[in-house]
Structure 1
Amino acid sequence: MTPRKRRPSARQRLQTATDVTRSGARRYPRHFFTTLRGGNGDVREVFRIAARRAKDSTFSAVWLGHATILLRIGERWILTDPVFSRRIGIKLGPVTVGMERQLPAVDPATLPPIDLVLISHAHFDHLDRPSLRRLASPTTKVLTAASTSDLIPGGFEKVTELGWGEHIDLGEIVIRALRPEHWGARAIWDRHRGYNSYLIETPHKRVLFAGDTAYCDAFDRVAGVDLAVFGIGAYDPWIAKHANPEQVWAMATAADAQHLLPMHHSTFELSDEPREEPLLRLRAAAGKDARRIVACDLGTLWTP
């Protein structure tokens, strides 16, 4: 098992900062110039999901790219960190300057009526305002991290902020906010914004949606998880804020997760590791228990 997280030394922090700066210097100018060359507009490829098939189950999940997961729990439809846009980043007039999507996006029109949208934190690859506008409905609630409700577009039934250690009771579903190892700022001046992992509980099922996190012990006290959803990418060079696949497997095991659905990979070029590496390393870390890893083909319905 991966050793417990220790505070990095000053030398290690300096090396990480240097690596992060070099990584950004390699990637961000390319994202900027592809934006100027016309890399905005609709997503080049979209796909549809068979919502009717998912509706036949009382417990299922569909990975829709990056950290967007469609969950069916009982009679509720829950959608996490919805991002359907071709490009994510800063909006300058009609143009979005930022990273371009590498995988097809779901057609939101094919989604079932969403009961609850979960937002883990305010980073552009998790809180995408254009995508939220497409989901806005007077019958859809939004649950988001502390000090982020001002970023949620109007049109939803209700927007509720949840801080660490707090919970909300939605009838047959209780959702608890946990503290991962990450950060919540959307820009350099708003580091007050929160960042959450969520434990979704019903009388019969427990789902852990980790959001973004480095390796930490936040999930050691969460037991009996039926499905854990963890990000497995963006660790090179962001290991201080994004766990690597071996660390993810250790955290899912600590949460006693029966199944692990990997996310936060392949969709946006956020870091330097090869695109195929996170899944390969995760399967290697799981070894003989790799069957517990949920088949993560884009748009594929999973049921236990």
Structure 2
Amino acid sequence: MTTTSTDRQWPASFTHRLTAPLPGPRQLLRALREGAFRASTAEADQIPVSRDGALPELPTNTASITWVGHATFVLRLGGACVLTDPVWSARIPGVPRRLTPPGLAWSALPRVDAVVISHNHYDHLDAATMRRLPRDTPVLVPAGLGTWFRRRRFTAVTELDWWESAEVAGLRFEFVPAHHWSRRTLFDTCRSLWGGWVVSAPGGPRMFHAGDSGYGHFFSEIGSRHPDLDLAMLPVGAYQPRWFMQAVHMDPEEAVRAAADLGAARMATMHWGTFLLSGEPLLEPVDRARKAWREAGRDPADLWDLAVGETRLLPTA
């Protein structure tokens, strides 16, 4: 289904899409009392950063991904450049300053042909970064989030519900479910949807960006609808304390399991090493992901545990 939903009427709330109850005030107070979000930053200088200042040349018949940090990637495929959940800011509300610099200078970006947003949390939707984009940049967003962009004078906004798709810049974008939620203020909990994106070009490859998600049945459903995923970009961080985070954030072992459910040929780690959001040690997410990948019998070359700023190439058909 293809849509450019500027006049669609969305429900006032998407709470009926939640797959688990959200932690309430009592659970939040408990987490704060326990110091659950106070991970040490002592290992910050050990987070790998490989920032060369420019994107490498893209050989013929290849696509590429570049990890800018957190959930932000630069995807180059089908002759187009796509940004996922772009955050170039040094600070976002509610958390300490960025631990590692963006993996690519803003000035080094090629023309951006499309932006995909998974949901409206500040670490995935950054107003300061969005202001740096031309207002005619095509933006694909979850249902209910289009108003935020149109108020900021973006003119090419596509809102999608789960399992809906659109074609932009010669690419196909499908919005798919996630086990998560949305909120940007005290008064808009679940007023917009959340999810991930399957991005594909004619002749390939086909990439999946999970946005933010707990582990659950949606991954096998996505895999059954897209049995030829070349790459899954999956979050491996922000999972401690487990009793608080489990419903909405995977741990590294669950991310590896999700990659298997998806049937993805490769997995790229994300959502770690950029912002201090939870209680686990800074390097633990990727260390545990590597261990789980080995124990699953997967080829180590197919786990793309990228350094910030690193680019990997994918062949196209």
TM-score (norm: length of structure 1): 0.81
2:257 counterpart letter in structure 1: A
User: What RMSD over aligned residues (CA atoms) do the two structures have, in Å?
Assistant: 2.9
Shift of 1:25: 7.2
> 1:84 and 2:88 equivalent?
yes
The higher relative CO (CA closer than 8 Å, separation ≥ 6) is in 2
Q: 1:104 maps to what in 2?
A: 101
User: 2 CA distance for matches of 1:8 and 1:193?
Assistant: 17
The residue correspondences of 1:1-304 to structure 2 (distance < 5 A) are 17=28, 20-22=31-33, 27=38, 47=51, 49-54=53-58, 58-89=62-93, 98-105=95-102, 106-138=104-136, 140-152=137-149, 154=152, 156-170=154-168, 172-191=170-189, 192-203=191-202, 204-221=204-221, 222=223, 223-237=227-241, 238-287=245-294, 288-289=297-298, 290-304=300-314
Structure 1, unaligned stretches of length 5 or more? 1-6, 31-44, 90-96
1:297 counterpart letter in structure 2: A
Structure 1 168/111 Cα, relative in aligned 2: closer, same or farther at 3 Å? same
Structure 2, unaligned stretches of length 5 or more? 1-18, 41-48
Corresponding residue pairs, total: 274
User: 2 CA distance for matches of 1:23 and 1:211?
Assistant: 28
User: 2 CA distance for matches of 1:57 and 1:21?
Assistant: 50
User: 1 CA distance for matches of 2:188 and 2:125?
Assistant: 15
Contact 2:95–2:277 (CA<8 Å) still a contact in 1?
A: no
Identity %: 32
User: 1 CA distance for matches of 2:107 and 2:34?
Assistant: 36
Offset from partner CA, 1:249-301 (integer Å, 9 cap, x none): 01111111111111000100000000000001101101142321114011111
Contact 1:174–1:201 (CA<8 Å) still a contact in 2?
A: yes
Structure 1 273/98 Cα, relative in aligned 2: closer, same or farther at 3 Å? closer
Shift of 1:151: 2.7
Structure 1 164/14 Cα, relative in aligned 2: closer, same or farther at 3 Å? same
Offset from partner CA, 1:175-225 (integer Å, 9 cap, x none): 111110000111231121211111112332211100000001112132221
2:54 counterpart letter in structure 1: A
User: 2 CA distance for matches of 1:171 and 1:136?
Assistant: 16
Structure 1 295/247 Cα, relative in aligned 2: closer, same or farther at 3 Å? closer
User: 2 CA distance for matches of 1:23 and 1:148?
Assistant: 34
User: 2 CA distance for matches of 1:180 and 1:168?
Assistant: 19
Q: Secondary structure at the match of 1:272?
A: coil
Offset from partner CA, 1:107-145 (integer Å, 9 cap, x none): 21111111001110100000000011112353x211111
Structure 1 23/126 Cα, relative in aligned 2: closer, same or farther at 3 Å? farther
Contact 1:46–1:104 (CA<8 Å) still a contact in 2?
A: no
Shift of 1:227: 0.7
